[in-house]
């Protein structure tokens, strides 16, 4: 059954994943209704606007809305298929908070009809897709759920984890391979019909728990490898060796590909997802846990280094370049750059800290109560500073001339000013 979905589709969650997914389906002729609990997001999307920065998304959203293919609402409508793309944050003990997923499932339940498809895209711990069937089943005893592999179920429930890289979402959404894990084989096949509408990559069918785990493993793999690079960076610093030179040389080996050290690991995915594996198997995941601890320790290490450099001055000014969690996005969630600024500001309360970021135009809430932190334009900040700390390799920062840094202490955590 290789047909592409051709019906009415509701996407719950109009965020970094839900909105781009809505747009690629809508521009290929599917009638899409975007659902969000935040009225400001619903209003923005209804006007054809995007509430966050992502290359090429804005033009696609305005086009899809103008064509009448994409609408936004706060009420879950009746549809032939539903995609759940809501956040799965973690609780204080690092277990997953599934309350948004459960709420979405419970909003879908009263609307469900025989033959409908429900796809979970949110990154979730193993077993979540099966729980969706239980939550819906509890509210709809009239419908036969596909849990326990029931082959003759009335509705089809699957997990299709998103895998797109922020900053390249509109490209990767189309070109990446997709993993579709069903509670039954038919669930996977029916869910795959949605991705067949736009995916140019291969669609790989599997069971729901394998799909859930594969997604977590992808991000844990990256976390462990970044932790390796970060640990090398600290070791090299202690031994007075240039880590960038070491990595460049080692990577010339045909089977070595070390990632890039930085000020820590941020964003909503990589620092979160490994914990879903650790909390599912706490006693047999020491490596994944150690990687998390290494990456979480890096902002402290960098702040300590900056504080040590500041001792050389009587009354230094420090410029911190970059606040987002990585280059060329406006996302500050779990940003290690912000944590570094917080730590420096608290360690050196008498010192002026000038922060700048071309993607951030107001002081983030997490820095607002630090009296010695001020938002500044990049050139003013660099010119006034005695110590310049590069935290995010945004394009404009790469172009800062070495002459501008002359006579200052430059601390480049991303290896771009070498």
* Interacting span for ligand SAJ (CB under 6 A) from 19-27, 41-49, 265-273, 309-317: 265-273
Instruction: List the x/- string, 303-332, binding to ligand SAJ by CB under 6 A.
Output: ----------------------xx------
Spatial CB neighbours of 109, under 8 Å, sequence gap ≥ 6: 135, 136, 139, 140
Of 309, 341, 316, residue with least CA distance to 410: 309
Using the rule CB under 6 A, which residue among 162, 189, 207, 357 binds ligand SAJ?
162
The CA–CA distances, whole Å, from 121 to 61, 86, 167, 375 equal 20, 8, 19, 36
What are the helix and strand counts (H, E) for the chain? Answer: 16, 13
Query: Would you say 266 or 316 has its CB closer to ligand SAJ?
Result: 266
Q: Does 299 bind ligand SAJ (CB under 6 A)?
A: no
Of 340, 207, 332, 194, residue with least CA distance to 262: 340
Tell me, yes or no, if 215 is annotated catalytic.
Answer: yes
Interface size with ligand SAJ, residues (CB under 6 A): 20
Tell me, yes or no, if 269 is annotated catalytic.
Answer: yes
Residues in region 188-217 near ligand SAJ by CB under 6 A: none
Using the rule CB under 6 A, which residue among 71, 147, 163, 292 binds ligand SAJ?
163
Quote the Cα angle for 236-238-242, to 5°: 30
Output the smallest distance, CB 255 to ligand SAJ, in A: 18
Q: Does 265 bind ligand SAJ (CB under 6 A)?
A: yes
Residue with tokens 């990577």: 251
Residue 353: beta bridge partners? Answer: 318, 373
Dist CA 164 CA 157 (whole Å): 22
User: For residues 352 and 389, is the Cβ–Cβ distance under 8 A?
Assistant: no
- Any idea what DSSP says for residue 144? P
Using the rule CB under 6 A, which residue among 126, 266, 316, 364 binds ligand SAJ?
266
Residues in region 215-244 near ligand SAJ by CB under 6 A: 218-219, 222, 226
The CA–CA distances, whole Å, from 178 to 12, 121, 204 equal 19, 11, 6
Using the rule CB under 6 A, which residue among 166, 181, 274, 299 binds ligand SAJ?
166
Tokens of 113: 């009809």
Tokens of 309: 């450099």
The CA–CA distances, whole Å, from 138 to 131, 133, 145 equal 10, 8, 10
Catalytic one of 160, 187, 215, 320:
215
Output the smallest distance, CB 59 to ligand SAJ, in A: 22
* Interacting span for ligand SAJ (CB under 6 A) from 61-69, 163-171, 195-203, 314-322: 163-171
Query: Would you say 42 or 291 has its CB closer to ligand SAJ?
Result: 291
Instruction: List the x/- string, 91-130, binding to ligand SAJ by CB under 6 A.
Output: --------------------------------x-------
State the distance between the two ends of the chain, measured CA to CA, in whole angstroms.
Answer: 54
Of 213, 175, 156, 410, residue with least CA distance to 305: 410
User: For residues 295 and 271, is the Cβ–Cβ distance under 8 A?
Assistant: yes
Catalytic one of 160, 269, 320, 356:
269
Query: Would you say 33 or 96 has its CB closer to ligand SAJ?
Result: 96
Using the rule CB under 6 A, which residue among 50, 270, 348, 385 binds ligand SAJ?
270
Q: Which residue ranges make up the site for ligand SAJ (CB under 6 A)? A: 123, 162-166, 218-219, 222, 226, 259-260, 262, 265-267, 269-270, 325-326
Instruction: Return the active site residues.
Output: 215, 269
């Amino acid at each position: 059954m290789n047909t592409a979905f051709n019906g009415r589709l509701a996407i719950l969650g109009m965020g970094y994943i839900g909105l781009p997914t809505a747009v690629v389906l809508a521009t290929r002729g599917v009638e899409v209704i975007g659902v969000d609990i935040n009225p400001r997001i619903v209003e923005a999307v209804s006007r054809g606007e995007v509430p966050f920065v992502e290359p090429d998304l804005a033009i696609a959203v305005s086009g899809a809305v103008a064509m009448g293919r994409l609408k936004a609402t706060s009420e879950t409508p009746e549809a032939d298929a539903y995609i759940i793309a809501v956040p799965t944050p973690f609780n204080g003990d690092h277990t997953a908070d599934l309350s948004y997923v459960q709420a979405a499932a419970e909003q879908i339940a009263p609307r469900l009809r025989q033959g409908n498809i429900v796809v979970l895209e949110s990154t979730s711990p193993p077993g979540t897709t099966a729980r969706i069937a239980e939550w819906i089943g509890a509210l709809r005893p009239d419908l036969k759920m596909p849990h326990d592999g029931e082959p003759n179920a009335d509705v089809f429930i699957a997990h299709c984890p998103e895998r797109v890289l922020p900053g390249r979402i509109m490209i990767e959404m189309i070109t990446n391979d997709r993993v579709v894990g069903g509670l039954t084989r038919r669930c996977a096949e029916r869910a795959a019909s949605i991705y067949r509408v736009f995916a140019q990559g291969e669609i790989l069918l599997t069971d729901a728990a394998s799909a859930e785990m594969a997604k977590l493993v992808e991000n844990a793999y990256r976390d462990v490898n970044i932790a390796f690079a970060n640990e090398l960076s600290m070791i090299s610093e202690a031994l007075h060796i240039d880590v960038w030179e070491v990595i460049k040389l080692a990577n010339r080996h045909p089977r070595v590909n070390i990632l890039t050290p930085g000020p820590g690991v941020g964003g909503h995915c990589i620092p979160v997802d490994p914990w879903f594996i650790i909390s599912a198997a706490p006693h047999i995941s020491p490596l994944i846990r150690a990687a998390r601890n290494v990456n979480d320790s890096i902002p402290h290490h960098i702040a300590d280094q900056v504080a040590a450099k500041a001792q050389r001055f009587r009354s230094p000014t420090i410029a911190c370049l970059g606040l987002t969690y990585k280059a060329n996005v406006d996302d500050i969630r779990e940003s290690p750059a912000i944590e570094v600024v917080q730590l420096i500001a608290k360690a050196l309360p008498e010192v002026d800290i000038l922060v700048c970021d071309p993607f951030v135009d107001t002081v983030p809430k997490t820095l607002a109560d630090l009296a010695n932190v001020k938002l500044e334009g990049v050139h003013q900040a660099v010119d006034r500073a005695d110590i310049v700390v590069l935290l995010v390799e945004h394009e404009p920062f790469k172009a800062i001339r070495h002459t501008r840094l002359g006579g200052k202490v430059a601390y480049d955590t991303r290896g771009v000013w070498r």
